[in-house]
Amino acid sequence: MDTLGRLADDGWQLCGVTARAAEQRRSATAEVLQTARWLDAVGLEGLPLHFTADKTQVAWDVLVDGSPTNLGAGRAAGRQVVAFHQGYNADVPVPQIRQFAELPGLLAGLRFG
């Protein structure tokens, strides 16, 4: 996950947005701890976390997601979206990446200001 660290170093404000606790109705505390441990393991400790089923409610410039539902909601809200390619979203008409290393080149074309 060095790529995400480099994006942060380049001035991109990264945050994690997950619907896991909201959708599974499990302990939010357990979800926060599990997600925070994963972020620590990939070198992104301290990344802000948002737990919501509606990802359009979080302020973001570009959403990288695998869910066709979330990608569609982002597009419907007029926001930039990028699919983390999976077999189930291959036909979603948005830019797609297969690994985070592809993200900086794609974002270079989307970045404004």
Query: Is 84 inside a domain boundary?
Result: yes
Q: How many other C-beta atoms lie within 10 A of the C-beta of residue 41? A: 10
Q: Are 84 and 97 in contact (CB under 8 A)?
A: yes
Print the domain residue range for 11.
Answer: 2-108
43-81: b or e for each residue (b if 16 or more CB lie within 10 Å)?
A: ebeebeeebeeebbeeebebbbbebbebbebbbeeeebb
Q: Is the pLDDT of residue 22 over 60?
A: no
Is residue 85 in some structural domain?
Answer: yes
Q: Report yes or no on 60 lying in a domain.
A: yes
In the chain, % helix, strand, coil (3-state, to 5) comes to: 45, 15, 40
What one-letter code names the amino acid at 27? S
- Give the total number of structural domains in the chain: 1
The whole-number average pLDDT for the span 88-105 is 92
- Examine residue 113 and state whether it is found in any structural domain, yes or no: no
Residue 95 has pLDDT above 70, yes or no: yes
pTM (two decimals): 0.77
Residue 102 in any domain: the answer is yes
